[in-house]
Amino acid sequence: MALLQISEPGQSTAPHQHKLAAGIDLGTTNSLVATVRSGLASVLIDDDGHALLPSVVRYLPDEKIEVGYSAQAAQSQDPANTIVSVKRFMGRGLKEIDVSQQPYHFIETKTESGEMLQIETRAGVKSPVEISAEILKSLKKRAEKSLGGELVGVVITVPAYFDDAQRQATKDAARLAGLNVLRLLNEPTAAAVAYGLDTGVEGTYVIYDLGGGTFDISILKLSKGVFEVLATNGDSALGGDDFDRRIFCWILEASKCKPVNAQNTRLLLTKAREAKEWLTDHATAQITSVLSTGEVVNVTLTTKLFNEFTQTLVAKTLSPTKKALRDADLSIEDIKGVVMVGGATRMPQIRLAVADFFKQTPLTNLDPDKVVALGAAIQANTLAGNKSDQDLLLLDVIPLSLGLETMGGLVEKIIPRNSTLPIARAQEFTTFKDGQTAMSIHVLQGERELVSDCRSLARFELRGIPAMVAGAARIRVTFTVDADGLLNVSARETTTNIEANIVVKPSYGLSEEQILSMLQSSFGAAESDKNSRLLAEAKVDAESLLAAIKAALEQDGHLLNNQENEQIKAKMNALEANIQAGSGDAIREATEALNTATEDFAAKRMDASVSRALAGKNIDTVNL
Amino acid sequence: MNLNYFELFELKPAFDIDLAALENNYRKIQSESHPDRFVTATSAEKLASMQTATLANEAYQTLKKPTSRAKYLLELQGINAIADTNTNMPADFLMQQMEWREAVEDNATNLSGMHRLLRDIKLEAATLHQVLADELDTKKAWQTAAETLRKLQFMDKLREEIARKLAILED
């Protein structure tokens, strides 16, 4: 049978063609996109030569949306419709953020599983996920223009200390932007990749990553292309922004201003940021501004004073640092180097504090703004399947413990923080009343003992438990955390095998329906277009599965007996027939059936390749 | 693949293991099975990757730490060492436990005191490791080893408690 020649952009079946992949640093203050070309990672620039894209989104009166420098320039005139630092709101509820210094109209929408923060703009109510998607769309456009084709996939970086809700929100934003996410990568790990490959270092390193709105500390063991995270810690609500705000408060106090409106708040915050940046290379900063009320601000900030009133912020970064060291069971003598990442690490008081703590000069030889995007680009290139000289392996961890609510509002930990991913843990529960047929399960993330002090990730109900006496039912709940750090929970009553699969959707996130409807409205396509698109996609997926299995059979067919071989062949023929028949649903069903039929084969191939890898070592030892 | 954790890493089942070989073989298995290697693979291959990588992580974490390694070795002998924690602990060890606990309480607000205690606990744990190696690998004295393991688990708990208290002190 002739193969159908469907060539969707980015789905090319030619195995040796370079696939277009990019790494995206979706930052609080600035975002970047980078890619690997001819073996070298580089940041992509816009038409004006800018590498950074300010993470600012403005909704204009004419329904247009501006992203980046032009939006940033308008933030003082139009603060309510110009969203800056949206990353701080990702996966968050209203009660978790300090709204007093924000110029936005926040609203809280009740969803099935919790409350979701949204912002009212002149373009309507927008969720942080939608706003972030605008930033991602802009970067996608830049990358595709610069690379001359559609991206196969991207790696998006997130703070290591992001919890499940914040990670899920980031992934949702990428979906809305029409991006295929190959992996969510922790920012410090991305930085370590760029740094480690660049300098060829080996040993235990600390990545100190202070961004615009988040702080991460990661301790990694680097050796021969393996980046193993030993421990991570941080504060997902601490960053350079907080230093701006301290300066802002000081300006108000020093110039004896009355409380200012949204427009002046934005104006003075911008002045504060400029002063902070100026003080990196100067002893004093002159801050002058005329407010919309006619009041004149004219104050001088010295380095000494700046250091004094930001001392507590600097100290706040050292406490997670100590925790991470303790979790990794290391002392500062074990640390070979400290790599500084994030624009905020340009502040001299930060560098001094880090040098003082680790008793060594921190490493600042890579551009702290770009290193994360470069590392993400390297990983994206590898994951997309492009050949590279470096055999990379990243072993990352879950930053915060996962647990379940038990009696008395307490949390029982199921997966401890700093467990290497992927990880799965099962826990058994039983009923406590005679004839109990349902059980509700509450999943939480955090280190504290009380439910009220942890983040609620999901509540779900396991129904249809057969009525038995109290304590007779055996409910096995399995938690799986994948390489993106995202949680999946499934539950099964083991005496009857009643299963309930639960996709954990964060309490503060978007529902699947909301995402689908947003995607659909953005396509705006007629029903027939949609159907033909779905059919084309189903055919592409089916063809690539068939190609993959043919290749696997050629290579490892000997692992199967005749009967197993026949079973797979039968499902392949069925799928091929369905492709010919041309019904999207039937193709998807046959694809699924073929996938299931090859599960044992895939497991056998995996075992065989693991055995080969281990045997390789033995041969080497013999040859020595 | 129904291998026990030692077989998975091609190691002899023992308390005193070659940690470098464990790490080396763990990395080899992860190189073959990690989900990053299967981002564009079929869903059956992704499933196999997830299962093997998860097993390797679980097995590596279990064998890497002395306490969980000893516990696992005893489980292979059919002994669940934590099932009867503290029920038949020797009196002198119970006394010692109380002394440790009092020391932790006495130093609860004293940073350097806590760090000194942490050092003492690490030393005590190292001694117990040697005892365990002898009981598990040489004497094959499973029941006495289970008792030593319970002591070691107590030291681990104490360490966690001190870490929690230190975190509060440092905040």
DSSP states along A477-488: EEEEE-TTS-EE
What's the pTM value of the predicted model, to 2 decimals? Answer: 0.90
Q: Which two tokens stand for residue A475?
A: 């409910």
**A61-75: pLDDT as tens digits:** 998 999 999 999 998
For CA atoms A506, A512, A515, A518, give the dihedral sign: negative
> Looking at residue A482, what is its pLDDT?
93
> Looking at residue A532, what is its pLDDT?
81
Q: How many Cβ atoms are within 10 Å of A75's Cβ, its own excluded? A: 21
A16, pLDDT greater than 60: no
> Considering only alpha carbons, which residue of chain A is nearest residue B32?
A610
Helix (H, G, I), strand (E, B), or coil: what is residue A405?
A: strand
User: What phi, psi does A254 have (nearest 5°)?
Assistant: -70, -35
Q: Smallest Cα–Cα separation from A56: which of A134, A130, A121?
A: A134
**B53-75: pLDDT as tens digits:** 999 999 999 999 999 999 999 99
Does the CB of B82 have a partner CB in chain A at under 8 Å? Answer: no
> Looking at residue A621, what is its pLDDT?
41
Does the CB of B168 have a partner CB in chain A at under 8 Å? Answer: no
Does the CB of B20 have a partner CB in chain A at under 8 Å? Answer: no
Contact A489, A479 (CB under 8 A): yes
ipTM of the complex: 0.91
The DSSP string of A14-57 is -TTSPP-EEEEEE-SSEEEEEEEETTEEEE---TTS-S-EE-EE
* pLDDT band with cut points at 50, 70 and 90 for residue A1: very low
Give percent of chain A above pLDDT 90. Answer: 65
Does the CB of B57 have a partner CB in chain A at under 8 Å? Answer: yes
> Considering only alpha carbons, which residue of chain A is nearest residue B37?
A383
Q: What does the pLDDT average to over A594-598?
A: 94
Which contacts qualify for A517-521: CB closer than 8 Å, 24 or more apart?
A518/A130, A518/A176, A519/A175, A519/A176
Give percent of chain A above pLDDT 70. Answer: 91
| Cβ contact B30–A391 (<8 Å) | no
Q: With a CB-CB cutoff of 8 Å, which residues 140-199 of chain A face chain B?
A: 153, 182-183
Q: Which two tokens stand for residue A239?
A: 């960053």
Query: Is A499 one of the catalytic residues?
Result: no
A619, pLDDT greater than 60: no
Contact B62, B68 (CB under 8 A): yes
Measure in Å the smallest separation between the Cα of A498 and chain B Cα atoms: 21
Q: Which of the residues B54, B55, B60 would you substitute to probe the A interface, choosing the one with the greatest number of A C-beta atoms within 10 Å?
A: B54
Beta bridge partners of A288: A298
Q: Which of A209, A244, A484, A493 is catalytic?
A: A209
**A165-192: pLDDT as tens digits:** 899 999 999 999 999 999 999 999 999 9
**A398-413: pLDDT as tens digits:** 999 999 998 888 999 9
Does the CB of B18 have a partner CB in chain A at under 8 Å? Answer: no
